Amino acid sequence: MDEFYDAATRLNCQAIRDWQATERPIVGYTCSYTPGEIFHSVDILPVRLKGIETEGMEIGDTYYGPFICSFPKCLLQLAGKEKFMFLDGAIITPGCDGMRRLDECWRKAAEDYKGILPDFFYYFDVPHKSENHGMAWYIEELRILIKKIENHFNVKVTDDNLADAIKVYNQGRRMLQEIESLRYRDDVVVSGTDIFAATVAGTVMQREAYNQALRRWLEELKNRTTSLSAGKKRLMLIGSISDEIELFRMLEENNDAIVVGENLCFGIRHEGNEIDEHGDPVEALGRHYLQSSVCPRMYGKYKERLALLKQKLDAARVDGVVMQNIRFCDLHGAENSLFERDLEAMGMPCLKLEREYGPMIDVGRMKLRINAFLERLRV
**Predicted confidence (pLDDT) per residue in 290-317, tens digit:** 987 689 999 999 999 999 999 999 999 9
Rounded to an integer, the average pLDDT of 326-349 is: 96
Instruction: Please provide the distance, in angstroms rounded to a whole number, between the alpha carbons at the two ends of the chain.
Output: 36
Cβ neighbourhood burial of 65 (10 Å; 0-12, 13-18, 19+):
exposed
Q: What is the mean pLDDT of the chain?
A: 94
* Whole-number Å distance between alpha carbons of 240 and 263: 9
Enumerate domains of the chain plus CATH numbers: 12-154 (3.40.50.11890)
At 59, is the secondary structure helix, strand, or coil? helix
Q: Write out pLDDT tens, residues 211-240.
A: 999 999 999 999 999 999 999 999 999 999
* Whole-number Å distance between alpha carbons of 252 and 258: 5
* Whole-number Å distance between alpha carbons of 8 and 205: 9
- Does residue 271 carry a pLDDT above 80? no
- Antiparallel, parallel or unpaired: β 120-123 and 350-355: unpaired
* Whole-number Å distance between alpha carbons of 286 and 140: 9
Q: Are 357 and 368 in contact (CB under 8 A)?
A: no
* Whole-number Å distance between alpha carbons of 368 and 57: 26
